[in-house]
Amino acid sequence: MVLCLNLFSCRKVDPSWDVNINAPLLKTTMDLDNILPDSLINTNNDHSLSLVYSYSFYNFSFDSLIDMPDTLSSRYLPPVNGYTVNPGQVFYNLTENNHLSFQGAQISGVDFHSGYITLEVFSSITEPIVVTYELPYATRDGIPFKVTVTVPASTPGTIQHYQNFFDISGYSLDMRGPTHLNSNILTSTTKAMLDPSGNGYTLDSSDVFRFNIRFKDISLQYAKGYFGNNSFAFGPDTTPIDIFNKITSGAFDFESIKLNLNVKNGFGVDARVMFDQISSINTATGHHVALNDPIIGQAINISRAVETGDHANPVTPSEYSFNLGNSNILDLIENVPDMISYKVHVDCNPLGNISSGNDFIYYGNYLDASLDMEIPLSLIANDLTLTDTVDFDLGDNPNTIKSGTLTLLADNGFPFSAKIQLYMLDENRQITDSLLFPDMIAAPDINAFYKVVHPKRSVLQIPLPEEKIPRLYEMKKMLLVARFNTAGAGHYVKIYDYYKLSLKLTGDFNYLIQM
């Protein structure tokens, strides 16, 4: 007996043992916020929910009406031979009344919201040159726009290139010219003289002095005049719609939908608008559904907005609403679109210059087309697939778990059955593996009005294969995918504000503990 004890006392022992531990892994609640943005959900008096959504799919901006030209002036000094210019002497002085082209528009004045005037000078003169550029009819706080710069001297045999930018934000430009009777006129004065602190210079016929003056990144705060009788065609074009972006597949059938096409004109311009095509597109399925309504292809006359005289709110737009209730709007929305396609024609001032040159535009106002939807959430779901991403972290030691079983506790308050699949995501949100629960989350009992009586608990279990254990440790997030089908044997079921699906995932793990 003593011998045995001595033998064991001489052995180095590395004790270890197995321990079964039930550990919570994740907990989440899926309610309507997981499907639709909370700001779009309206709660009715009976606690049922409706989706209220206004979607602007087309904006006609005033950049289309008035496209400010880039080049304001581009001039040069004609060749001069043997003429000596003294320090401080003006050798170039030009006042211009340039007629700017506005594609048929006759502009009497604009206010600049933002933008720059670019002054670019090329000179071979080997003395510094003082250049002054002035717009006498562009004023801010009563002071005309005027800049004076010094162009460095060139070195012999080279041409000095000088460029600078000058902010014109907040300036008002009168484009009626010196007589105040015209339009589209930009009056400017450009002067150049030798630097008074420099030396004299004798011009040679090979000397170069030229300048370019341009607008850059111009945005208008206001414009007035006659904007012309022009036609514009836009599209086919697409714009994204994100209302159903959490629904990845499947289908739903709404009991009813209210849909209006709204047109709002914030311009002081009469217009005629024609929607040649409006379609919903599901890019995942490639399915297109075109709106079938008498409004398509119909010319709509839109009256101009009205100036209020209120600086804070200067425009009262004209607004028009067209009920699309007799169209195929259910098909349009049940396509689960993520894009809207459109093709539009706009005719401006179809009756000509009836405002006598008093058309106007203000920054931030558009001719806007939108779809306004109200969808009572009474529906039938068919494999409607929703997703949610949750945090997940098992720690850093992948060798401690030998085996285990995952248990999903589901308290379901929605009138849907659901099938759940879990996707393992690494730190880059890339899928590394998946776990599929073979059983369904049962739908709760519903009464004669297809309303949930009380939530129902389902307990789903799957064994955790040994080869998937290391991937659990790699996982930083888990993507939860739920596929829903309505209870009620094909009847429409309403969604109420207290419906939710609570999920809790636990792991019954067999750990190897080593000391």
Read off the CATH number of the domain in which 120 is found: 2.60.120
Residue 308, phi then psi, degrees to nearest 5 = -95, -20
- Give me the amino acid identity at 410: A
Are 462 and 437 contained in the same domain? yes
Model confidence at 399, in pLDDT bands (50, 70, 90)?
Answer: low
What would the two tokens of residue 149 be? 């710069």
Other Cβ atoms within 10 Å of 28 Cβ, number: 16
129: nearest Cα among 166, 160, 158: 160
Are 176 and 268 contained in the same domain? no
Q: Are 316 and 267 in contact (CB under 8 A)?
A: no
User: 390 versus 283: which is more confidently predicted?
Assistant: 283
Contacts with 296 (C-beta within 8 Å, 6 or more apart), sequence order: 275, 276, 277, 278
434: nearest Cα among 484, 479, 394: 479
Are 25 and 56 contained in the same domain? no
Residue 15 pLDDT greater than 80, yes or no: no
Q: Are 384 and 377 in contact (CB under 8 A)?
A: no
Q: What mean pLDDT is predicted for residues 391-401? A: 67
Span of 74-88, 150-164, 179-193, 241-255 with lowest mean pLDDT: 241-255
Residue 137 pLDDT greater than 90, yes or no: yes
Taking only the tens place, the pLDDT of each residue in 163-182 is 999 999 999 999 999 999 99
In angstroms, the CA 156 to CA 139 distance is 40
Chain-wide mean pLDDT for the chain? 87
Taking only the tens place, the pLDDT of each residue in 412-422 is 999 989 888 88
What would the two tokens of residue 406 be? 């995952």
Which of 376, 393, 408 is the endpoint of a domain?
376
Instruction: List, in sequence order, the alpha helices (H) in 316-401.
Output: 329-334
Are 364 and 389 contained in the same domain? no
Full-model pTM: 0.72
Most distant CA pair in the chain: distance in Å? 127
Residue 120 lies in a domain: yes
Model confidence at 209, in pLDDT bands (50, 70, 90)?
Answer: very high
What would the two tokens of residue 253 be? 């059938």
485 three-state secondary structure: strand
Which of 376, 405, 426 is the endpoint of a domain?
376
Are 481 and 509 contained in the same domain? yes
Which pLDDT belongs to residue 11?
Answer: 40
Taking only the tens place, the pLDDT of each residue in 468-503 is 777 777 777 888 888 888 876 678 889 898 998 898
Which pLDDT belongs to residue 429?
Answer: 82
- Give me the amino acid identity at 43: T
**Enclosing domain of residue 363:** 50-61+229-376
Contacts with 507 (C-beta within 8 Å, 6 or more apart), sequence order: 22, 23, 25, 404, 405, 406, 407, 464
Taking only the tens place, the pLDDT of each residue in 223-249 is 999 999 989 888 899 999 888 776 777
Residue 9 lies in a domain: no
**In degrees, to the nearest 5, what angle opens at C-alpha 181 toward C-alphas 178 and 187?**
30
Residue 2 lies in a domain: no
Residue 13 pLDDT greater than 50, yes or no: no
Which pLDDT belongs to residue 4?
Answer: 37
Which pLDDT belongs to residue 18?
Answer: 54
**Residue 452 DSSP class:** B
Phi-psi region of 82 (alpha: psi -120 to 50; beta: other; left: phi over 0): left
Contacts with 3 (C-beta within 8 Å, 6 or more apart), sequence order: none
Which of 206, 226, 246 is the endpoint of a domain?
226
Are 325 and 371 contained in the same domain? yes
Are 356 and 416 contained in the same domain? no
Residue 32 pLDDT greater than 90, yes or no: no
Burial letters for 421-430: b for 16+ Cβ neighbours within 10 Å, e otherwise? ebbbbeeeee
Which pLDDT belongs to residue 102?
Answer: 83
Residue 285 lies in a domain: yes
Are 311 and 359 contained in the same domain? yes
Model confidence at 513, in pLDDT bands (50, 70, 90)?
Answer: low
Q: Are 32 and 237 in contact (CB under 8 A)?
A: no
Burial class (CB in 10 A: 0-12, 13-18, 19+), 38: exposed
Which pLDDT belongs to residue 217?
Answer: 92
**In degrees, to the nearest 5, what angle opens at C-alpha 61 toward C-alphas 368 and 292?**
35
Upstream peptide bond of 236 is cis (omega within 30 degrees of 0) = yes
Q: What percent of the chain has pLDDT over 70?
A: 91
Residue 263 lies in a domain: yes
Are 33 and 158 contained in the same domain? no
In angstroms, the CA 180 to CA 168 distance is 22
Residue 7 lies in a domain: no
Are 295 and 421 contained in the same domain? no
Residue 114 lies in a domain: yes
Exposure of 378 in the CB half-sphere (CA atoms within 13 A):
14
Are 82 and 211 contained in the same domain? yes
In angstroms, the CA 334 to CA 318 distance is 31
Taking only the tens place, the pLDDT of each residue in 439-464 is 899 999 989 888 998 999 999 998 87
Contacts with 239 (C-beta within 8 Å, 6 or more apart), sequence order: 57, 58, 339, 340, 342
User: 103 versus 195: which is more confidently predicted?
Assistant: 195
Are 255 and 369 contained in the same domain? yes
Residue 128 pLDDT greater than 70, yes or no: yes
Q: Are 296 and 231 in contact (CB under 8 A)?
A: no
Q: How many domains is the chain built from?
A: 3
Model confidence at 5, in pLDDT bands (50, 70, 90)?
Answer: very low
**Residue 428 DSSP class:** T
Residue 312 lies in a domain: yes
* Strand pairing report for 339-348 and 271-282: antiparallel
Which pLDDT belongs to residue 14?
Answer: 47
Instruction: Indicate the helix (H) or strand (E) that contains 334.
Output: helix 329-334
